[in-house]
Amino acid sequence: MAHLLAMTLLLLAGPSQAGEDALLAKIHAFLYEQARASGDEVVIEVHPPRASLPTCEHPTPFLPNASSRPVGRVSVGVRCGDQGRQVRYLQAEIHVTGNYVELARDIGAGEVIRPEHLTERQGSLGQLPQQTILDPGQAIGQQATRPLAAGMTLQRHHLRPRQLVKRGQRVVIEAQGAGFRIAREAEALEPGGKGERVRVRLPDREILEARVVGEGRMTVDF
């Protein structure tokens, strides 16, 4: 019934207004899909274009800055037409309420984050820095890049992968490919955490790059 009423209002508003309302509804639905995973409550306000523009046929919304968390004031693009060659930009406000992570106690530089070091808070995510960690799982097992004080809102640049390989350490490198597997010792030329690629020196002085897979263990894929 509500859907039927909304369609009736669009028809009564006239083709131009109906087209704009349909465009705003499309953008609203798109932004909701982008933001709903960030928190428990999402409120979206899409600002209509200031100038009167032709109807946007086959609108396809997108976020110009897709790497940023969709919260706060954002710019949203819309491709119009069959080929999407016409592009418009509108402004929107996305208010998200959800959980984020704070430190429960002081953390020293290099200390590995454990569950008891963290506490979850709830609030407006739009008031927080873009790099704020929302999920404790993103922090547990990571290493502090510098001393961190209790009560701080934890951000991604505060952490790095825990170092499993130290500079100058003797490590084991596994090289594997189709039908073979070789293990050799080498010297790590730089530190690294799990998944990071670091340079190592083989006994014959050859230098290559390997990926950290565990404590003192690295791999080279062929």
| Residues above pLDDT 70, as percent of the chain | 91
Model pLDDT for residues 179-206, shown as the tens digit of each residue = 778 888 999 999 988 888 999 999 999 9
Residue-level pLDDT at 103: 96
* Tokens, residue 135: 């999920």
Q: Structure pTM? A: 0.62
Q: What is the CATH number of the domain that holds 170?
A: 2.30.30.760
Q: Which domain-ending residue is among 131, 161, 191?
A: 161
29-68 burial, b for 16+ CB within 10 Å, e for fewer? ebbeebbeebbeebebebeeeeeeeeebeebebeeeeeee
Give the three-state DSSP class for 120. strand
**Quick check: 141 and 117 in contact, CB under 8 A?**
no
Are 85 and 138 in a shared domain? no
- The residue-averaged pLDDT of 92-113 equals 93
Q: What is the pLDDT of residue 115?
A: 95
Q: If 0-12 CB within 10 Å is exposed, 13-18 middle and 19+ buried, where does residue 192 land?
A: buried
Q: Which residues form the domain of 119?
A: 97-161
Residue 222: band (very low, low, confident or very high) from pLDDT cuts 50, 70, 90: low
Same domain, 18 and 76: yes
**CATH code: domain of residue 101:** 3.90.1210.10
Q: How do residues 1-18 score in pLDDT, each as one tens digit? A: 333 333 333 333 444 566
- Residues 73, 109 within the same domain: no
Q: Are 97 and 121 in contact (CB under 8 A)?
A: no
